[in-house]
Amino acid sequence: MTKPLNLRDGFTLSDLLSPDGFTVEIGDEYFQEEEEDNFSYNPNVFLSNEELINMLNMDDFKTDETEDDENDEATGTMLCGISFATMKTKMIPITKDGKVMKLIKRKGVGEIVPYNAQVTIKYISYFEYNDEPFDSTYAHGHPKTVRLNQDLLIPGLELAITSMEKHEIAIFIIHPDLAYGRFGCPPRILPNEEVMFVIHVVDFLDNGSADSYLDLNMEEKKLFSNIVKCINDLLNTAKYNFINMKTKKAIRVYEKAIRLLENAELKDDKEEEEVKKLLSRSYNNLAICFNKEEMPRRACMACNKVPIPTVKTYFNHGKALVKIGEYVKGLNELQIAYKMEPKDKDIYKEICLANEKYIKYNEIEKRLWSNCFNFSEKEKKETEFQKAAREMCESFAKDNYLSRQPFPEGLTREEENYIREQAAALGLNVVSQTK
């Protein structure tokens, strides 16, 4: 019968490759409603059991040592069941002395990982004949992102990674001299222990130009021709961070690129045009980041600094203005974007949403104004005004899209104070702003 595995208790490779199969036990907290999307994004899941088994599957590595194993056809060939010496017969050396051996399980694409790149990897590492990994990104719960050539990894692992392409999966056996040395790291890593790494290169960024930039003197750092490669690498790094939901990191990198561009010394009109294009790209993407982080005023400032406005500029500026309650200005920006791209559904949806918010705000403002001037029925005026003010605050508190809502103009001090009381009761902050 199948063996039950409890995720909280953990499991080994032998459990996963059991000939009888296995079932996973989970608690009630993991059950979802039937209609929920089973493939929705989950930041904690990055390597499925199937992917893990595929990385370790060695059915294409049949040897005399493994063919006679009992139940081999049912279980498949276990990576940890093959001696390092046998594996090396099918591997190729990536160093002249053969201290790092490699076997490609899946070919990658594109260029080889540079020696000073920022790389994201998934890996599992084993000692010989040991079915329990001594280190694994699977156990850590997330892929590992690290900058190479910074003495952060063992030498053999760096050599292994810099022999790989993007999306490649490969197996490496590393000699103790390039791993943990003759002393090891007791008690977990014994002295003079060879190690095996199964590595999957998820992605990498070439940050080599950053090192070149640091080697320049102060005058050389101002020349655009010397920093353009560094700036492009920074923009790629920021994009990578944004895609991987590290928006605040992306903001910091975009701002760094902008500082370099704005301080650059230009020798001709061609360089000036190139700087304008790079600044436009940087500020546009910065505005997207600010909107995503619910910082619409900073998004507006970024859009205002774009040298060459595009559809993206007007769209993000309009979106930010609506978020701070500047409905008319926001709609104007969105309309300009829509004229430039009349078939863009996202712009159309944003215009519809802005119109909806603007109409709702106008209705509340009219109710407040109508009761402000109803002097003949003072008691009724106060009741209706209070009701409208309370509904305005409640509506804003429930609205996850807007981040600011302006007061209607022309209110008395007493009426403003009442709105402030209602806002405070709902946990809202009221601030004064000078335009």
Joined together, the tokens standing for residue 359 give 């109409």
The rounded distance, in Å, linking the Cα atoms of 179 and 174 is 6
* Closest residue by Cα to residue 95 from 173, 182, 181: 173
Asked if residue 106 lies in contact with residue 54, where contact means CB atoms within 8 angstroms, the answer is no
* Closest residue by Cα to residue 418 from 378, 379, 385, 395: 385
Helix (H) or strand (E) segment spanning residue 145: strand 144-147
Beta bridge partners of 126: 196
Q: Which of residues 327 and 306 earns the better pLDDT score?
A: 306
Asked if residue 21 lies in contact with residue 36, where contact means CB atoms within 8 angstroms, the answer is no
Q: For residue 129, which amino acid is it?
A: Y
* Average predicted confidence (pLDDT) for the chain: 78
- What pLDDT, on a 0 to 100 scale, did the predictor assign at position 381? 47
Average pLDDT over residues 1-17: 61
pTM for the predicted model, two decimal places = 0.54
Tell me how far CA of residue 74 lies from CA of 30, 69, 77, 181, in angstroms: 31, 11, 9, 38
Q: Which CATH number fits domain 211-373: 3.40.50.300, 3.30.70.250, 1.25.40.10, 1.10.760.10?
A: 1.25.40.10
* Closest residue by Cα to residue 362 from 329, 390, 328, 332: 328
- What pLDDT, on a 0 to 100 scale, did the predictor assign at position 233? 82
- What pLDDT, on a 0 to 100 scale, did the predictor assign at position 93? 94
Sequence-ordered list of residues with C-beta below 8 angstroms from that of 343, at least 6 positions apart, any chain: none
The rounded distance, in Å, linking the Cα atoms of 275 and 300 is 21
Q: What is the pLDDT of residues 254-266, one digit of tens each?
A: 998 999 899 888 8
371: pLDDT confidence band, cut at 50, 70 and 90? low
Asked if residue 278 lies in contact with residue 235, where contact means CB atoms within 8 angstroms, the answer is yes
Q: Which range, of 24-33, 157-166, 249-258, averages the lowest pLDDT?
A: 24-33
Highest mean pLDDT among 259-263, 301-305, 396-400: 301-305
SS (H, E, C) 37-62: CCCCCCCCCCCCHHHHHHHHECCCCC
Evaluate if residue 7 carries a pLDDT over 70. no
Q: Is 31 exposed, middle or buried (0-12, 13-18, 19+ CB in 10 A)?
A: exposed
Q: What is the pLDDT of residues 97-136, one digit of tens each?
A: 999 999 999 899 888 998 888 888 999 998 888 878 888 8
Asked if residue 58 lies in contact with residue 77, where contact means CB atoms within 8 angstroms, the answer is yes
Q: Which of residues 59 and 240 earns the better pLDDT score?
A: 240
Instruction: Say what percent of the chain tops pLDDT 70.
Output: 71
How much of the chain is helix, strand and coil, in % rounded to 5? 50, 15, 35
39: pLDDT confidence band, cut at 50, 70 and 90? very low
Q: For residue 24, which amino acid is it?
A: V
- What pLDDT, on a 0 to 100 scale, did the predictor assign at position 370? 63
Other Cβ atoms within 10 Å of 174 Cβ, number: 24
> 3-state class of 105 per DSSP?
strand
- What pLDDT, on a 0 to 100 scale, did the predictor assign at position 341? 92
Alpha-helix runs per DSSP H in 223-310 = 224-243, 247-262, 269-292, 296-304
Beta strands in 50-132 (DSSP E): 92-93, 100-106, 109-112, 118-126
Q: Which range, of 35-44, 72-81, 219-228, 272-281, averages the lowest pLDDT?
A: 35-44
Average pLDDT over residues 188-217: 78
172: pLDDT confidence band, cut at 50, 70 and 90? very high
Q: What is the pLDDT of residues 74-94, one digit of tens each?
A: 344 556 667 888 889 989 999
Sequence-ordered list of residues with C-beta below 8 angstroms from that of 340, at least 6 positions apart, any chain: 310, 311, 314
The rounded distance, in Å, linking the Cα atoms of 181 and 210 is 31
- What pLDDT, on a 0 to 100 scale, did the predictor assign at position 56? 59
- Report the first-to-last Cα separation within the chain, whole angstroms: 73
* Closest residue by Cα to residue 406 from 319, 332, 323, 304: 323
Q: Which range, of 45-59, 103-117, 152-166, 357-371, averages the lowest pLDDT?
A: 45-59
Domains of the chain, residue spans: 1-30, 79-206, 211-373, 384-426
Highest mean pLDDT among 86-90, 302-306, 320-324: 302-306
Evaluate if residue 375 carries a pLDDT over 50. no
One-character DSSP codes across 227-245: HHHHHHHHHHHHHHHHHTT
Evaluate if residue 69 carries a pLDDT over 50. no
Tell me how far CA of residue 273 lies from CA of 228, 259, 307, in angstroms: 13, 17, 10
- Cα 318-322-323 angle, rounded to 5 deg: 115
- What pLDDT, on a 0 to 100 scale, did the predictor assign at position 304? 94
Q: Which range, of 17-21, 171-175, 202-206, 380-384, averages the lowest pLDDT?
A: 380-384
Q: Which CATH number fits domain 79-206: 3.30.930.10, 3.90.1150.10, 3.30.70.250, 3.10.50.40?
A: 3.10.50.40
Highest mean pLDDT among 62-76, 180-194, 307-321, 352-366: 307-321
Q: Which range, of 80-84, 346-350, 411-415, 422-426, averages the lowest pLDDT?
A: 422-426
Evaluate if residue 217 carries a pLDDT over 90. no
- What pLDDT, on a 0 to 100 scale, did the predictor assign at position 59? 55
Average pLDDT over residues 282-296: 93
Evaluate if residue 24 carries a pLDDT over 80. no
Q: For residue 38, which amino acid is it?
A: N
Asked if residue 169 lies in contact with residue 200, where contact means CB atoms within 8 angstroms, the answer is yes
* Closest residue by Cα to residue 123 from 105, 138, 106, 108: 138
- What pLDDT, on a 0 to 100 scale, did the predictor assign at position 9? 57
* Closest residue by Cα to residue 164 from 112, 105, 106: 112
Beta strands at 22-25 and 3-6: parallel, antiparallel or unpaired: parallel
Average pLDDT over residues 162-179: 93
The rounded distance, in Å, linking the Cα atoms of 341 and 109 is 35
Average pLDDT over residues 229-234: 84
